[in-house]
Amino acid sequence: MILRAVIDQVLDLLEAEPELAERVRVVLGAGADKAAPRLLDRAELAAALKVSPASLDRLRGEPAFPEVRIGDAPRFEFEAVLRWLRSRADRPDDGNVVHLRRRAK
């Protein structure tokens, strides 16, 4: 309860910065039910990861990228994507870098 009040106060202070407030909501899971994680669309995930949509599309082409389809629309659970990124960074052959390869045209 106290944590929720603190989160709400922080979000109130960030009203002048809606983009930053949304990133805080995503990171903290504010307003999300723990039983049902919030699913992000492509633009929301790119913004939360601070990458371009094109970079996100390259990541999506990698094996086992966590994606859920609702009809034809791809959706992403932020925490699942972070776990996937961390698992790739833990691979000894890659060091701490997630490589983004350009697709052949």
Q: Map out the domains of the chain as residue ranges.
A: 1-31, 39-105
Q: List pLDDT tens digits, range 48-63.
A: 999 999 999 999 999 8
* Token output for 22: 């949304």
What phi and psi values does residue 101 have, to the nearest 5 degrees?
Answer: -95, 140
- The span from the CA of 82 to the CA of 66, in Å, is 10
Q: Cβ-count burial of 14 within 10 angstroms (0-12 exposed, 13-18 middle, 19+ buried)?
A: middle
Element (H, E) at 25: helix 18-28
pLDDT in tens, the chain (105 residues): 676 777 777 777 777 777 777 777 777 665 555 556 789 999 999 999 999 999 999 999 998 999 999 999 999 999 999 999 988 876 665 555 565 656 566
Rounded Cα distance, 102 and 75, in Å: 22
Buried/exposed code over 39-68 (b: 16+ C-beta within 10 A; e: otherwise): bbebebbbbbbeeeeeebebbeeeeebeee
pTM (global) more than 0.75: no
